[in-house]
Amino acid sequence: MPSIFSSPNPTLFGVGTSRVIGDKLKEFGCQKVLVVYDQGVKEAGIVDPLLGYIHAAGIETVSFDRVLPDPPDWLVDEAGMLGINEKVDGVVGIGGGSSLDTAKGVKVLLSNPPPINQYFGRFKGVKNADKPLIVVPTTAGTGSEHTPGGTITDTRRNAKDVVEIVGRSVDLGIVDPELTLSLPPRVTAITGMDALCHLVESFTSKWSNRFCETFAREGITLAGKYLVRAYRDGSDLEAREGMMFAASLGGMSMLGPLCHLGHDIGRRLGANFKMAHGLSCCTCLPQVVEFIAPVLPDKVKLIAEALGGMVPEGAPPKEIGRIARETIQKVMKAIEMPNLKSLGLAKKDVLAIAPEIMELGLVTAPVTPTLADITTLLERAYEEN
């Protein structure tokens, strides 16, 4: 089967790399940039040093500091209008997925008329978004520096949609593990599980290929080694670097294969119950991996072993699936991930979203689930995790 890998987005990875952000903007010819972030990143003390590096390079900044989770379309329009009115010639996104997605939306609007929601649609690429964008992730989760799209909430439909950019969606990703040292354990856990979902789901997607598999294998191994360590000791720079690289590999691994059932279920859980993205996507991951084990036993065995599970030689697929499920559950317990029950959700409300999940199409799942399968996945995740 042919394999394709395509990522036009350059990435600079390493401890301390964020200090060169001003020089990099200068290389792009920027004189005044819009800097997009939220109050949490500002309060964590991450924004001010970065603004200092940008100013030291002689570049003016305008701040949009009101990013919201699951950024709504109107907020992206506001950020874009600020950039247009201030005549900026570049954008910087600092933060987790929501800030980086907002910044991608601004990049579109700096070269294309608002509103942003006219550009929604997977594979409906925006062609001439040519103002430079630097993203600086501050969580080890999204891998957004590699992906072509920004996820934005379509408030008309109460659903997330995507705006994709043809060519470089990001002109430079500066991925500096040092910036994650101040992440609280809960955010480390939720964003780390998002990264693990990207890796596991793209690795086992129906559209997976050899490039993706190479990135994903290494990423899952790193997550197995470092996620719990980073959760237990946030100052462990080796663990932070390992998780940041795993997350970045997750972004690369998703290019083409995308994700499948974990994220499909997560999209509807997130929309219905306002759950954080990483939490909603991982909450059924143990059961999803067990569900697909009969068709992908070798891949599921690799996942289990990379995350610390012991799979006996010659174990049948069903046994491999059980071990993989228990191994992922153990990781999630070690990082104290809340489950659907502990979030206070009623089981009947959770099960009621199964038809909505089916409506998503589920085209990348390696096993095409029935409505009964999805209901069972939700019910087991509710009772077991």
Q: List the structure tokens of 366.
A: 């390696």
Residue-by-residue DSSP string for 274-320: ---HHHHHHTTHHHHHHHHTTT-HHHHHHHHHHTT----TT--HHHH
Considering the rule CB under 5 A, would residue 194 count as an interface residue with Fe ion? Answer: yes
Q: Of 191-199, 216-224, 236-244, 372-380, which segment contacts Fe ion by CB under 5 A?
A: 191-199
Q: How far apart are CA 276 and CA 337, in angstroms?
A: 12
Residue 141 vs 369, nearer CB to Fe ion:
141
Q: Of 188-196, 222-230, 285-293, 328-336, which segment contacts Fe ion by CB under 5 A?
A: 188-196
Q: Of 4-12, 78-86, 193-201, 361-369, which segment contacts Fe ion by CB under 5 A?
A: 193-201
Q: Residue count at the site for Fe ion (CB under 5 A)?
A: 1
Instruction: Find the angle CA(266)-CA(272)-CA(275) to the nearest 5 degrees.
Output: 55
Q: Of 3-11, 58-66, 194-202, 207-215, which segment contacts Fe ion by CB under 5 A?
A: 194-202
User: Which residues touch 361 (CB under 8 Å, ≥6 apart)?
Assistant: none
- Residue 109 CB, nearest distance to Fe ion (Å)? 24
Considering the rule CB under 5 A, would residue 201 count as an interface residue with Fe ion? Answer: no
Give the torsion sign (CA, 58, 60, 66, 69). Answer: negative
Residue 38 vs 305, nearer CB to Fe ion:
38
Give CA torsion, residues 61, 66, 67, 68, to 10 deg: 180
- Residue 196 CB, nearest distance to Fe ion (Å)? 10
- Residue 137 CB, nearest distance to Fe ion (Å)? 13
Residue 22 vs 95, nearer CB to Fe ion:
95
Q: How far apart are CA 245 and CA 222, in angstroms?
A: 8
Residue 96 near residue 191 (C-beta atoms within 8 A): yes
Residue 90 vs 97, nearer CB to Fe ion:
97
- Residue 365 CB, nearest distance to Fe ion (Å)? 16
Residue 80 vs 192, nearer CB to Fe ion:
192
Residue 82 vs 199, nearer CB to Fe ion:
199
- Residue 156 CB, nearest distance to Fe ion (Å)? 23
Q: How far apart are CA 32 and CA 62, in angstroms?
A: 8
Closest residue to Fe ion in the complex (CB):
194
Residue-by-residue DSSP string for 156-185: TTTEEEEEEBSS-S-SEEEE-GGGGTT--H
Binding site for Fe ion (CB under 5 A): 194
